[in-house]
Structure 1
Amino acid sequence: MLVNVTPNLTEEFWNELVAPFEDANPGIDVVIQNPGAEGVAAALPRLLAAGDAPDVVQSLPPTPDLAPELVDLSAYEWATNGPLAEQYTIGGQYYMAGIGVQLQSLMFYNKTAFDEAGITELPTTVEQLDDALAALSAAGWTPIQTGGDWMSSHALQALALPTVVGEDPDWFANMSSGEATFSETYGSSIERYADWVAAGYIPTEALGIQYPDAEQSFLAGESAIYPMGSWFAGTEAAAENPAEIGVFAAPAIDGVSDAAMGANIASPYSILTSSDRVDEAALLLEFLTTDETAVVDQLAVDGNFRDGYAYETTALGDELFQIVSDTPATSYTPTGEGYGERRLPSGYSEELNTQTQALMGGTAGADVNSAMDDWFAANAG
């Protein structure tokens, strides 16, 4: 099984997770495959090309390009009834099974920083968030903690998607068909992010900060707001003496009544068609996605959620559960390139990340909007 290995999801965690399955199925040995620094998304195509593909892949949502390499799980009730299962279908077929929902449009915040800046109410609009960032900066805090690599565009999406998809729930389809343009729909968020950079809310050295370092910096109380997915709650729960941290849903601009919430499947599992152990792999997936202990262990370690599967949390986790309770399922939106039938052209995530890093380096918002319009003109429709 090729898996995502992170500070939370260590090889030790994965081996302990599958141990009860191996005990119950003595004829099956689950070998955990660590993709190393290249990650699952880069490792799988290389392994497929080399004829050395794993039986099971974790953390990689199915795409139309990848679907031919994946076993159709439509015959398995545990796959078709799982979290976000229908939303991730491609051509009506189910190619993955997940363990829960992973929230993406979140702003974790340092409560001490907010107190020192005189912020007594959490922002519920982007305009209020602007005011909070100004107050934090004036109080001597680094307002936003972000970094290089994939982190760069995560903060931008936390700013943009609640408004963009809140205003147009069919945004993914309209962008893919060419009926909408990036600058018309996303452009104001790009301009606002450029303003944040110019105001110093995002430090100039952010591009050189790696994910583990950004995470530890925020945990240590060195910055005020950390746009990050719900898995950070698992990191906070395991940290020694972290700063006092809270969380709020990333807001939309004033006037958008139903702010969208980025929500992806947590820990999607798929079986490769090249596997000669499909039956055994299906047993493993059923265990990983339905066994109460296995599901709860996976939910808890990365701060994810699923109806009917409860676990003890920290105060921060309780705040996240409240956000889940307050967010209608109809408000959930994909992030990045999307999933299932709600997808943008391949390569969008990489291009958005590249352009966000340009913003962080001082490129004008108008130039980034123009570049993204050109990219969609060449890749959509």
Structure 2
Amino acid sequence: MITTRTIAAGAAVAVTALALSACSSPGASEESGDVELRVLVNVTPNLTEEWWNELVAPFEEANPDIDVVIQNPGAEGVAAAVPRLLAAGDAPDIVQSQAPSVELAPELVDLSEYEWASEGPLADQYSIDGKYYMAGIGVQLQSLMFYNKQAFADAGITEPPTTLDELDDALAKLKAAGWETPIQTGGDWMSSHVLQAVGLPSIIAEYPDWFQEMSDGELTFSETYGPAVERYADWVAKGYIPKDALGVKYPDAEQNFLAGGSAIYPMGSWFAGTEAKTPDAPEIGVFRAPAEDGIDNPAMGANIASPYFIMKASKHQDAAAKLLEYLTTDEDAVVSQLEVDGNFRDGYEYETTALGQELGAIVADTPASDYTPTGGGYGERKLPNGYSDEINAQTQALIGGTPAADVLSSMDAWFAANAN
């Protein structure tokens, strides 16, 4: 087997614009002899270089003419490395962890002819102009609420809420039972995560094209997000969301919930990985973020787990497609990637905790059509640039006591200034 190696993105060598044009030809073909595939990946404490090398080792063994070189972007990160490497004429063959965008699509290989791409997880949601530029291994759920089972029992809550009205009742019972922090949130990016969990399941169910219609100015924020913002402000007023939450950092919020200091923790499915490593955590369950009463198909916020795309500049596009098929369909490869980061895909199972099994059941019960982006969106479902920062700032204003009407007015003004 050809030995897998690792190189740093910082080793890119600048070439002339003419050379960049030549290697960017969409008709680039395989060179004779052995093929070297450079794969730019996200390296984290979980996704180490050693882990990546082990992941692709079986593929190399089955394809001895292909040498997979893991490329570590270092502190720069994948998103920043890609445009720099493109400009230098040193683009990798494959990029992992970055979703395709309208701006980047001209630099990517159209994978629509491959069923493993066009029929993979969240493929339709990430398509652009009807083309599939990405293949992923599963989903990261976002519209979730983790809860302390003992807290619910103490408050007399026998079943997780399935509507927002039921959630209101549950919060009132938790507060009455002595829980000072019924809902755990914090400052930074966490603030708007709760608001989106409250709003998007209902909004997207009622307005499936909400992202596009907001971007085009066909809808307003106040007419669609108004009920969620008003409910959030009411939670702040009633103490369900502590007013000092803005001073709480993400790691501290997570640890407070794991230590039994709060009852409900709206967070993405990756939290299950942390819970599994916490031996003294209380018994924790999870329910999907509920919608308004009468909505039977609440949307589920989700991101693609471990997206891959092939750069059009690659001279080895066929070999790259072969590697992507392996990474996104081979059972052992997919399960390894799902397990290491706590992601999920219906039909691919791995040993997990009771909480992980509850999350797996949610994935199995969620039709692909119910998934929605969160934040600024992805694929063709995108909001104007800067939305995530703006909604976060306005949510923090809610926590600080700004009236809901003022926040809605500010968001309407922002969209008026930034919509297409």
Q: Give TM-score scaled by structure 1 length.
A: 0.89
Whether the 8 Å CA contact 2:110–2:132 is kept in 1: the answer is yes
Q: Matched residues, percent identical?
A: 72
Tell me what 2:198 maps to. 159
The reply on whether 1:379 has 2:413 as its aligned counterpart is no
State the AA in 2 paired with 1:306: R
1:223 to 262, 268, 277: 262
Structure 1 stretch 168-177 or stretch 102-111: which is displaced more? 168-177
Aligned partners of 2:346 and 2:360 also within 8 Å: no
SS at match of 1:196: helix
**Which residue, 213, 216, 239 being the options, matches 2:278?**
239
**Equivalents in 2 of 1:245, 1:80: separation in Å?**
36
Rounded to whole Å, the distance in 1 between the matches of 2:250 and 2:87 is 29
Please list, as runs of the form range in 1=range in 2, the aligned pairs for 1:281-292 lying within 5 A after superposition.
281-292=320-331
**Residues 179 and 262 of structure 2 are in contact (CA less than 8 Å); yes or no, is this contact kept in structure 1?**
no
Instruction: Report the alpha carbon displacement of residue 64 of structure 1 after superposing the two structures with TM.
Output: 0.8
Distance 1:351 1:280, change over 3 A: farther
Shift of 1:250: 0.5
Write the distance in 1 (CA, Å) between the matches of 2:278 and 2:53. 22
SS at 2:72 equivalent: coil
Q: Secondary structure of the equivalent of 1:31?
A: strand
1:74 aligns with 2:112: yes
Q: How does 1:1-381 map to 2 (within 5 A)?
A: 1-5=39-43, 8-10=46-48, 13-25=51-63, 27-36=66-75, 40-42=78-80, 44-45=82-83, 48=86, 53-138=91-176, 139-381=178-420
1:140-167 Cα offsets, whole Å, 9 max, x none, are 3422222333322222111110111122
Query: Unaligned stretches of 5+ in structure 1?
Result: none
Counterparts of 2:205 and 2:359 in 1: how far apart (Å)? Answer: 20
Displacement after TM superposition at 1:94 (Å)? 1.3
Q: How far off is 1:247 after superposition?
A: 0.3
For 2:139 and 2:321, how far apart are their aligned partners in 1? 21
Deviations 1:83-104 (A, max 9, x none): 2223321112211100112221
- Name the Cα RMSD after superposition: 2.6
Provide the C-alpha distance between the structure 2 equivalents of 1:246 and 1:323, rounded to a whole number of angstroms.
12
Contact 2:215 2:382 in 1 (8 A): yes
Q: How far off its partner does 1:126 sit?
A: 0.8
Q: How many residues end up aligned between the 2 structures?
A: 380
Superposition deviation, residue 182 in structure 1: 0.4
Q: 1:309 to 1:198 in 2, by over 3 A?
A: same
Unaligned runs of 5+ in 2: 1-38
- How much does 1:3 deviate? 3.5
The answer to whether the 8 A contact 2:179-2:263 is kept is no
Change (3 A) 1:6 1:204: farther
Counterpart Cα distance in 2 of 1:22 and 1:209: 46
What amino acid sits opposite 1:84 in the alignment?
Answer: L
Deviates more, 1:225-234 or 1:352-361: 352-361
Aligned residue identity for 1:212: P
Structure 1 counterpart of 2:16? none
Q: Check the 8 A contact 1:235/1:302 in 2, yes or no.
A: no
Q: Report the alpha carbon displacement of residue 49 of structure 1 after superposing the two structures with TM.
A: 5.2
**Tell me, what secondary structure is at the counterpart of 2:70?**
coil
